[in-house]
Amino acid sequence: MATEVIKSKIRDVPDFPREGIIFKDITTVLRDPKAFSHAVDMLADHFKKHKIDYIAGIEARGFIFGSALAYKMGKGFIPIRKPGKLPAKTERVSYELEYGNDSLEIHTDAVEPGKNVLIVDDLLATGGTAEAAIKLVKKIGGVIVGIAFVVELEFLKGREKLPDDCKITRLISF
């Protein structure tokens, strides 16, 4: 099964970026052509009947899966970035991470009001990052079609932080 191929390529890195965190390393998925293409193809297949105008990827690993998916589905790609990286006028939302605090930004004019946006990231952990990304897209007038992850760490219950009306898709869970 395609999900098993992807799951088998995810590498556990203990104590990164700090002690006690088991980091799910997806670079080992990316370097495997089958696993990487399965991940993108499965997401594209899942969303093929949805009306999507843009795919928004969260820096940095969300850029990799998000832009590949946007290319595959023939959609525009929108980067949601760490503070100070986007050159034009931005909106900003701050959030808590599994290991620290951070903020995310989006270009204010990235989405025309009412357009449908699918958000993509590599992994759902505590949900703070995804929650901030959803807030950002809504702030600039986008309509959230859903949010998609390659991996969900279910034991961290990140999905409980996300709005009830936000459809969550994930390929693999731990």
Residues forming the site for ligand AMP (CB under 6 A): 21-24, 58, 61, 97-98, 121-130, 158
Indicate the residue among 58 and 69 with the shorter CB distance to ligand AMP: 58
- Among residues 59, 61, 131, 170, which one is catalytic? 61
Which single residue is written with the structure tokens 């897209």? 137
19 carries an active-site annotation: no
Shortest distance (Å) from residue 136 CB to ligand AMP: 14
Strand order in the sheet with 168-173: 76-80, 54-58, 116-124, 143-152, 168-173
Helix (H) or strand (E) holding 24: strand 22-25
Which single residue is written with the structure tokens 């449908």? 116
Indicate the residue among 47 and 152 with the shorter CB distance to ligand AMP: 152
Indicate the residue among 57 and 142 with the shorter CB distance to ligand AMP: 57
Helix (H, G, I), strand (E, B) or coil at 126: coil
Which residues are catalytically annotated?
Answer: 61, 98
